[in-house]
Amino acid sequence: MSLSLSQLNALSQAAATSELLTCCTSSQWAQTLADARPFADIEALLSASDAAWQQAQTDEANLLEAFDGHPQIGNVDSLKEKYRNTQDSAAHEQSGANDAEDAVLEALAQGNQDYLDKFGFIFIVFATGKSAQQMLDLLQARLPNDRKTELVNAATEQNKITRLRLQKLLGDA
């Protein structure tokens, strides 16, 4: 569902928080952003979102809550299933994997499991416009990192995803 900015501004606190949670599943981020309304324009919303995300990421639990809202890129069965339904926003964001060879999808699935085992959360990447091979290359490049570095990397990618989802929510992407 697409909203206008004025509609988002006019929603109750609970309804606005609920809509914002479709963009990022960090409840602190969504509540902080809902509290910051009204927004004059999309740039004001995105700036407030960035600020709310900076605040939310000071607590690892908020990061993990946001990361939990994502499908795992590279789960072969779920990827193939998602691409049958191009309406799904996460599938659209991961559409670069749509034409991937099974070997690349299998390597993504294995790399994702290795990442999850090492860091305790799934691999988060702004997948829009990236091929499955590019996502695999990014995953393999980030696997040697330490957990602290990966929390920062994943938080940065999460913010890119959130900004795109906010624009989509407002029909502006």
Q: Using an 8 Å Cβ cutoff, are 21 and 27 in contact? A: yes
**DSSP conformation letters of 91-160:** HHHTGGGTT--HHHHHHHHHHHHHHHHHHSS------TT--HHHHHHHHHHHTTS-HHHHHHHHHHHHHH
**DSSP conformation letters of 20-53:** HHTT---HHHHHHHHHT---SSHHHHHHHHHHHH
Nearest alpha-carbon partner for 115 in 70, 169, 83, 165: 70
- Residue 70 is among the residues annotated as catalytic for this protein: yes
Set 32, 33, 39, 70: catalytic member: 70
Residue in the block written with tokens 């509540």: 31
Task: Give the residue numbers marked as catalytic.
Answer: 70
